[in-house]
Amino acid sequence: MIIRSKAPLRIGLAGGGTDVAPYSDMYGGAILNATINLYASATIEPADDGKIVIDAVDRNEKLVLDADKELAIDGKLDLAKGIYNRLVKDFVGKPLSFKLTTYVDAPPGSGLGSSSTLVVAILGAFVEWLQLPLGEYDIARLAWEIERVDLQMAGGKQDQYAATFGGVNFMEFYDGNKVIVNPLRIRTDVLNELSYNMVLYYTQTSRYSSDIIETQMKNVTSKKESSIQATHNLKKQAVMMKESILKGELHEIGTILNFGWENKKKMASGITNPDIDNYYTTAIQSGATGGKISGAGGGGFMFFYCPGNTRFAVKTALEKLGGYVLPFEFTKKGLTTWRF
């Protein structure tokens, strides 16, 4: 018997960063995101040899460990080990023996929520294997706790919920780590037009999002007015984007994205750099009406809104700068698990 799972990566369309504490605790946050057809996947093969094998195929990293109730968190495939430790502690109470194989369609530091999506995929595989009584909100919340509390990795809350629920969602974040996921019912023609006009560009760079996020958190804690006001504006942007897409008024998307990008750059240092500014300027000059960096910033993927047929000129111009455009489609399903 094998147990498999997959969870989709996401594009943060608007409101990025408002899901990060302490801002979300103090002021409340709002984000609009959408999952795409890039995935994190996990396979569990139960064993009875007293060993745990963790094989991250995309990273070319593999560990063989003795099955124990707690695995050492030492910088080597800690996401998988943190999930195992929490499940044994809360649900199982005894060591498990298995082989876990993982793969992510995007590199770490891509800005598409790959790390958190992988946590959801691995957790989903264990839930399927052990038949744990966890619903969507339970899985997303547990994934967040493992990553942010147990492993002390800096970041927000949107990625775990996007990967678990899937689709286009308007998410609200409140004090006490309360999250409400509002799935949006969008006309098929609107969603098709939105994806057709989106150009997803990989800059061929990655970054440690935790450094940028920690700076962002410090700016809120120290009550840096410019950073807080910029984050307020990003929360407004999420509402603006939601209304525009629901009404099918896609001609406003570029302007809304540009409004968000100008404010995002004010949240923390390191979000942009000369290369990113050059990518953005090049896309706009080639016909895009707006865009943003995906995720915390500093590198990874960018995406641009290119109305009409300007996507082709934008693609050509951007690829001359050394990166590449990745085709994608929006997806409706979140975490999926099965056994065979």
The backbone torsions φ and ψ at residue 44, rounded to the nearest 5 degrees and listed phi first, read -115, 130
Pairing of strands 51-56, 98-104: parallel
**Farthest-apart Cα atoms in the chain, separation:** 60
Q: Which two tokens stand for residue 132?
A: 């744990």
Please tell me the number of Cα atoms within 13 Å of 199 on its side-chain side. Answer: 33
Spatial distance between the Cα atoms of 16 and 90, rounded to a whole number of angstroms: 32
Q: Which of 58, 105, 159, 175 does the annotation list as catalytic?
A: 159
Spatial distance between the Cα atoms of 249 and 299, rounded to a whole number of angstroms: 30
Is the Cβ–Cβ distance between 157 and 179 less than 8 Å? yes
- Number of other residues whose CB lies within 10 A of the CB of residue 289: 21
Catalytic residue list contains 25: no
Spatial distance between the Cα atoms of 77 and 87, rounded to a whole number of angstroms: 16
Strand partners, 258: none
Spatial distance between the Cα atoms of 242 and 291, rounded to a whole number of angstroms: 16
Q: Which residues are catalytic?
A: 159
